[in-house]
Structure 1
Amino acid sequence: MSTNTSSQKLTLRQVLIFGGLMVTFSMGIRHGFGLFNLPITFTNGWGRETFALTIALQNLIWGAVQPITGALADRYGALKIMIAGGVLYALGLAGMAISTDAFSFTLAGGLLIGLAQTATTYSVVYGILGRNVAPEKRVWAMGITAAAGSFGQFLMIPVEQGLLSNFGANDALLILAIMASLMIPIAFMLREPNTANLQQGSNQTIKEALREAMGNPSFRLLTLGYFVCGFQVVFIAVHLAPYLKDLSKIYPDVGAPFVATTALALIGLFNIFGTYAAGILGQRLPKRYLLSSIYIGRSLAIIAFVYMPLSPTTTYIFAAIMGFLWLSTIPLTNAIVAQIFGVKYLSMLSGLVFFSHQLGSFCGAYFGGYLFDRTGSYLIVWNIAIVLGVFAFLINLPVKERAIERLAVT
């Protein structure tokens, strides 16, 4: 006898609204961390490597713990996980504000916020979405949710710049901590009535699901490609503002703070359109080809930005193009994972792929600061980002998007 669980599912509107709000706060707040780079390092007398290491550690912890957090959310439900994430996010921001030494700052901004992001960003939210949204609407819904996160990035950049200008870095972080705590009531709106009944699939265990995924060539290719995504976007998010400031010696017009702020805001704005377009196109076209196009498009945009004369206008054009390509990989990559393996362990498997993304994020954030401190230039890292984009373009082409064959249908 089958059990009808449709009445126990969250509605599509509920998932989209509150899932979107969750990633709006979690992704939006972190998107503006690059604005705090120079104010914090200058005030405390730290090198850029210190701030870069904090953000790099944050991304590494986020990625390393994400599969575990995803597995817990798949097994026990996402509510408690998201509540814990909201608490840790607020504590981490407050800790960054009151820290007077590099170790405590890195502990708060790296460890606590890294853990918080495992519980409040795409992997857990997409797990809820996968269990509650019909397959034929899944990629579109993932695109909508990613677009909400993009809106958060667009919204929070001017908000955080305004807080910095009016209150200074420390008080701005405390205000952001209060805003982060709003994720706690949002989590209750995403509570799934009966997670056990929504666990669609066979009796496959977590260990079996991991073995199956790691043995799948397409999963491994997606994982490698996601490393590149993380490297590129986090390097740009953390180091674009200092890069523009440095080049103001040659191109004076790009050194004004509003240029970097506008550029980061444009990334968030055009990211809304890019992620939504990815969700729409992913329903109609092979997702692997869309992913490859995104990566090669990024490399071409970086080449033009770095090797052509710089001005506020060219900076804004670069930001708009990169914004359109920024997080469009997320709904496409997660949709392929769901298409191949089903949704029973979607949060965990998405988290596993995301670990590679965050290894790339760690490298992009840390080596951006490390190589700058040693060479006085970001050019080496820009070139690495270009080469990696070509690599990701190539390895996504052979990905197979068909569901895996099992003895029992999941």
Structure 2
Amino acid sequence: MPDTDHRSNPWPLLIAACAILAIALGIRHSFGIYLAPMSHDNGWGREVFAFAIALQNLVWGAAQPFAGRIADRYGAGRAVALGSVFYVAGLVGMATISSASGFILVSGLLLGIGLAGASFAVVFGAVGRVVAAEKRSMALGIAGAVGSFGQFVMLPLGQSVMEAFGWSMALLLLALLAAAMLPLSLGVSEKDTTPPAGTEMSAADALREAARHSGFWLLSLGFFVCGFQVVFIGTHLPAFLVDQGLSGGTGAAVLALVGLFNVVGSFLAGMLGARMRKGWLLSAIYVGRAIAIALFVFLPITTASAWAFGIAMGFFWLSTVPVTNAMVAGIFGVRNMSMLTGIVFFCHQIGAFLGGWLGGYVYDRLGSYDLVWLIAIVLSVAAALLNLPVKEELVARLRPA
């Protein structure tokens, strides 16, 4: 059984989880502001940086089920501690290595593994195991909201340090901040994650149940779209706005607005997820994204319209995450939650790889991002349709007799 102290008072664990997500995701979502200056100073095309971020997301996704299994079996604290070490090493390498191949290696491999250990699936799994089922969606929404606030803080911080001391110093400062996740991992440690006999499935049984559950795969396909959109926008929006004649600081400000308003969006998603059918809520979020993107790219782009886009996208940015994680727990239980959400997240990261890389590939060949924006709109509509039929019903073997 999970740590009974955490069950009786989950707030210390929830606070530590929020702080870890704020650091890990805040740093990760600030990478877009470094694309243009690093590419210029190192003599790269945009595809080098874009491919490194795309590889990072793919490695993150591939490592996530394994990091989730470590968390499910040995406790989230150990997974976060290990991920923190990789995260810091990756940021230091990103700041100091100037060759394209070396940059791709450290940014893709080390940071990808680090994020797998210190982000959603692992941290949400710990939260899900200590919070009652009826409060789970809300608790995950709170954790996601605070994680988004990290994005709001990190972007202007990184932009200010970069303008004053250069991008290398900004990344080294972020590495120092990421090191704080190591002591924070103690706050999400779990003494024993073994449930009482007969109350949960084994890992093998959970994998078999998921493999033949249509809702699991529909959630995964919908999450693919989320990854495509989030990483394309987070990586390429600052450079896209510069191409439209706006300042480099505008991109950082818009992504900061995304983070700030996703605090509200994630909290609302968690609250609504406890009150309405989660599949319908996910569909509504993807429809909202499609409308926001279409209005942004088809209307004249100004500083005001860019800010409005940041606010609108903020409400939908990571609001899919607590709802999706809560649905996996509601269908398959919490014992293997980190592993199963890790598999769903892998699909998210395949989309993230394509969104990050395709943006740079299309831009270097066509000189614009127009095609990728259109793909993002079409995929959003597809994701809305995919999530409509998904129901949060506990699988048969976990239902009371």
Q: Where on the TM-score scale, by shorter chain, does this alignment land: which range? A: over 0.9
Alignment equivalent of 1:44, drawn from 42, 45, 64: 42
Matched, 1:114 2:105: no
Q: Would the alpha carbon gap of residues 287 and 103 (structure 1) be closer, same or farther in structure 2, given more than 3 Å must change?
A: same
Matched, 1:357 2:354: no
Alignment equivalent of 1:281, drawn from 267, 272, 283: 272
* Contact 1:201–1:344, Cα closer than 8 Å, also in 2: no
Alignment equivalent of 2:20, drawn from 19, 22, 29: 22
Whole-angstrom distance in 1 between the partners of 2:250 and 2:5: 50
Matched, 1:381 2:372: yes
Alignment equivalent of 1:315, drawn from 302, 306, 318: 306
Matched, 1:239 2:236: yes
Question: What is the match of residue 327 of structure 1?
Answer: 318
Return the offset for 1:7.
Answer: 3.8
Structure 2 stretches lacking a partner, 5+ long: none
1:309-353 CA-partner distances (Å, limit 9, x unpaired): 111111111110001100000010011100001001000000000
Q: Would the alpha carbon gap of residues 213 and 245 (structure 1) be closer, same or farther in structure 2, given more than 3 Å must change?
A: same
1:129-152 CA-partner distances (Å, limit 9, x unpaired): 111111111000000000011000
Whole-angstrom distance in 2 between the partners of 1:172 and 1:4: 39
Question: What is the match of residue 92 of structure 1?
Answer: 90
The amino acid across from 1:392 in the alignment is A
* Contact 2:6–2:13, Cα closer than 8 Å, also in 1: no
Question: What is the match of residue 258 of structure 2?
Answer: 267
Alignment equivalent of 1:188, drawn from 186, 201, 225: 186
Question: What is the match of residue 295 of structure 1?
Answer: 286
Q: Would the alpha carbon gap of residues 289 and 29 (structure 1) be closer, same or farther in structure 2, given more than 3 Å must change?
A: same
Q: Equivalent residues in 2 for 1:45-194 (5 A)?
A: 45-194=43-192
Percentage of pairs with the same residue? 48
Return the offset for 1:4.
Answer: 10
Q: Equivalent residues in 2 for 1:335-374 (5 A)?
A: 335-374=326-365
Q: Equivalent residues in 2 for 1:239-258 (5 A)?
A: 239-248=236-245, 255-258=246-249
Whole-angstrom distance in 1 between the partners of 2:279 and 2:197: 25
Whole-angstrom distance in 2 between the partners of 1:138 and 1:93: 33
Return the offset for 1:201.
Answer: 5.3
Q: Would the alpha carbon gap of residues 201 and 338 (structure 1) be closer, same or farther in structure 2, given more than 3 Å must change?
A: farther
The amino acid across from 2:227 in the alignment is G
Return the offset for 1:80.
Answer: 1.7
Q: TM-score, normalised by structure 1?
A: 0.95
Q: Would the alpha carbon gap of residues 21 and 8 (structure 1) be closer, same or farther in structure 2, given more than 3 Å must change?
A: closer
1:104-158 CA-partner distances (Å, limit 9, x unpaired): 1111111000000000001001111111111111000000000011000111111
Q: Would the alpha carbon gap of residues 208 and 241 (structure 1) be closer, same or farther in structure 2, given more than 3 Å must change?
A: same
Aligned length: 401
Cα RMSD after superposing both structures? 1.6
Q: TM-score, normalised by structure 2?
A: 0.97
Mean alpha-carbon deviation: is it higher for 372-381 or for 78-87? Answer: 78-87
Whole-angstrom distance in 2 between the partners of 1:123 and 1:190: 13
Return the offset for 1:259.
Answer: 1.3
Q: Secondary structure at the match of 1:406?
A: helix
Q: Would the alpha carbon gap of residues 85 and 199 (structure 1) be closer, same or farther in structure 2, given more than 3 Å must change?
A: farther
Return the offset for 1:212.
Answer: 0.6
1:41-94 CA-partner distances (Å, limit 9, x unpaired): 000000000000000000000011101110111111122211111111110000
* Contact 1:9–1:192, Cα closer than 8 Å, also in 2: no
* Contact 1:8–1:194, Cα closer than 8 Å, also in 2: no
Whole-angstrom distance in 2 between the partners of 1:139 and 1:200: 25
Whole-angstrom distance in 1 between the partners of 2:241 and 2:5: 53
1:180-210 CA-partner distances (Å, limit 9, x unpaired): 00000000122112233x5785463322211
Structure 1 stretches lacking a partner, 5+ long: 249-254
The amino acid across from 2:367 in the alignment is G
The amino acid across from 2:229 in the alignment is Q
* Contact 2:63–2:116, Cα closer than 8 Å, also in 1: yes
Q: Would the alpha carbon gap of residues 407 and 401 (structure 1) be closer, same or farther in structure 2, given more than 3 Å must change?
A: closer
